Structure 1
């Protein structure tokens, strides 16, 4: 074969492969309109479908502008990695009765997913919050969260702003190897159940450089959460960074290997919290290998708390109900700042399964008011304390 012909042929093949490697799918080319009125669901889905089928790397682009978007599911598997680039503002329907599920925007069954772009997710939750009566009504209508990731492997969620979610801002379920970074999640302090990030049945999750201010947990780690690294998180207002609640249902998987470091809590109800239900269930669920380090508390009501009598609504704590969740190997190290109530560390463990190997090292917590004094309270705790202990340790 002629050498020049072969060279040209190889060059053409390389160019063709390069063209197939990356492609941009702009939602405006699929009929989307940034007019704050048009329902853009079908346009977004068509762009996603074409991008998902593309055999090279692809980006679904939502340019600047304000886009109305109804409940939508972006599903895989896809042929290559997917980049969902939100540069504009997405607005959810304000009417909760337009939703059929508990999520506004869902991503499912995708390997190598990137979601970011500097845009804003507006859950328009103000009208919905008043209709949240789930603590009183067992048949309540569950409000939709803003963005849900289900069975995503290798995800990178970054540079986004989520405001006024109807319920959870971001939810992870059945995910592996996810990074969430450079996020700002905002809802009023009195907005019910607006957790910032909620995680269940997931492993290998990194959360870093995130600011969260909501009406519920800044981060909540539920059953089956393992291998989580949380760092450089600012939480406030909200209910702190929580493990649980656990032990309400049979068959809940363990929570294991959680590290929370270099975080700040400001004006929150709780700081670092583990909560389990009092129940007649004889669960085998374990919470173990939890490490908190280099934490700053600023006027936090309950800076350090283990609550194995958790019950947010009546009736509860009936005769004979105690938690069967085993908590063990939990360490608190270099935690400092101010408490806004009377108790710095409240470790209320189960008489059925006392907390095992709880350690506290170099804790310095003082009252935010001049005339008060902080104390520590421990019940059914086995462990030890080291270094500075202000107030005096109870283990």
Structure 2
């Protein structure tokens, strides 16, 4: 017999849905923000965030259409409920010289159940900052700000955002857990310095999906403590490719493991699929890495393990890395290389690479140096299926 008690789960579900739908909206215009391209709006944005974060049911911070100048701002939790940060308009970095050498522009910190979305635009105005980036020749160079940082953010989504001309990297994830990024559009010139698209460190269960990254440095870089990272359907180029590392530059680095990049493409990038470690280096581990179904279009160094990474040529060429690289699969990598050596596995003499697998590799080269080739140093593993260039394992 049907009774009222059978309706209780439905009522509970509807009450949750109703609670979500009635979450209050905190419009930054109501806090004094002005979309006039010259008023600095950090205080208005901060007050809207504070009220949304303090709402018992959670809240929605709304940035309507228009252009808002914003200085460095931090949105901190923990919050009492979920918060949606909805960017409909355009956020433009302040040109105040005091804001130039900061490690952040927009930061979310200590927040759970955050959604950042809206289809809006982030303009870092990096062209004003790039002349100050002299890190290639100055080891004491000053930091430039990432466009958007996420520190200690969990169970969250970042989606439908557009980032242009960051001063340093575009997005940085530090110590985050269960974060999904999708439908992200990133753009900066190929020559812009240190403009990583998405940089990940000490973070777990991160997914990056259905995005386009055109920038001057790594499209996605994963450093110490990056674990359970999944990248799918991402278009990269220009840029430096998908990079794991650099690793081993500091003591006691956490391992990097369980990285999967698949169903993606690279076009005219400096590197393709790269694992890079310092030499000399402190010991750590990079393992359980899969690159699958990747299309290359005129990519330099399409498959590259570089355990002699030294970007400014200040290293001892005889030094060896102590980073162990283990269980790495390159499968279904195909297209064209802009360099003769389409496969380069340059591993460490101290800790040779172990269990490297090349499966169905088809990379053509049509340049003047000769036929496409591969090079393997201190690399142990096997080749399977079709191999162009012929396998060196």
**If the length of structure 1 is used for normalisation, what is the TM-score?**
0.93
Residue 87 to residue 368, structure 1, CA distance change in 2 (3 Å): farther
Does the 8 Å contact 2:207/2:230 carry over to 1?
yes
Q: Residue 312 of structure 2 corresponds to which residue in structure 1?
A: 313
Does the 8 Å contact 2:340/2:367 carry over to 1?
no
- Deviation of 1:136 after TM superposition, in Å, equals 1.3
How far apart are the structure 2 equivalents of 1:20 and 1:189?
A: 43
How far apart are the structure 1 equivalents of 2:205 and 2:262?
A: 16
Q: Residue 343 of structure 1 corresponds to which residue in structure 2?
A: 341
How far apart are the structure 1 equivalents of 2:101 and 2:128?
A: 18
Aligned residues: 379
How far apart are the structure 2 equivalents of 1:23 and 1:93?
A: 29
Does the 8 Å contact 2:58/2:79 carry over to 1?
no
SS in 2 for 1:253: coil
- Deviation of 1:98 after TM superposition, in Å, equals 2.0
Q: Residue 328 of structure 1 corresponds to which residue in structure 2?
A: 326
**Are 2:392 and 1:394 equivalent residues in the alignment?**
yes
How far apart are the structure 2 equivalents of 1:20 and 1:302?
A: 50
How far apart are the structure 2 equivalents of 1:107 and 1:153?
A: 11
Q: Residue 270 of structure 1 corresponds to which residue in structure 2?
A: 271
Per mean C-alpha deviation after superposition, the further-off stretch among 42-51 and 18-27 is: 18-27
Task: Please list every run of at least 4 consecutive aligned residues from structure 1 whose deviation after the TM superposition is greater than 6 angstroms.
Answer: none
- Deviation of 1:134 after TM superposition, in Å, equals 1.2
Q: Residue 30 of structure 1 corresponds to which residue in structure 2?
A: 31
Does the 8 Å contact 2:85/2:117 carry over to 1?
yes
- Deviation of 1:372 after TM superposition, in Å, equals 3.9
Residue 53 to residue 335, structure 1, CA distance change in 2 (3 Å): same
Please provide the CA RMSD for this pair. Answer: 1.7
How far apart are the structure 2 equivalents of 1:254 and 1:130?
A: 35
> Could you give the per-residue CA deviations for residues 345-375 of structure 1, whole angstroms, max 9, x where no partner exists?
0000000000000000100000144884210
Counting only pairs closer than 5 Å after superposition, residues 1-395 of structure 1 correspond to structure 2 as 18=19, 21-99=22-100, 101-279=102-280, 281=281, 283-317=282-316, 319=318, 321-369=319-367, 372-395=370-393
SS in 2 for 1:302: coil
> Could you give the per-residue CA deviations for residues 312-346 of structure 1, whole angstroms, max 9, x where no partner exists?
01321254x21000000000111100000111100
Does the 8 Å contact 1:20/1:56 carry over to 2?
no
Structure 1 alignment gaps of length 5 or more: 1-9
SS in 2 for 1:185: strand
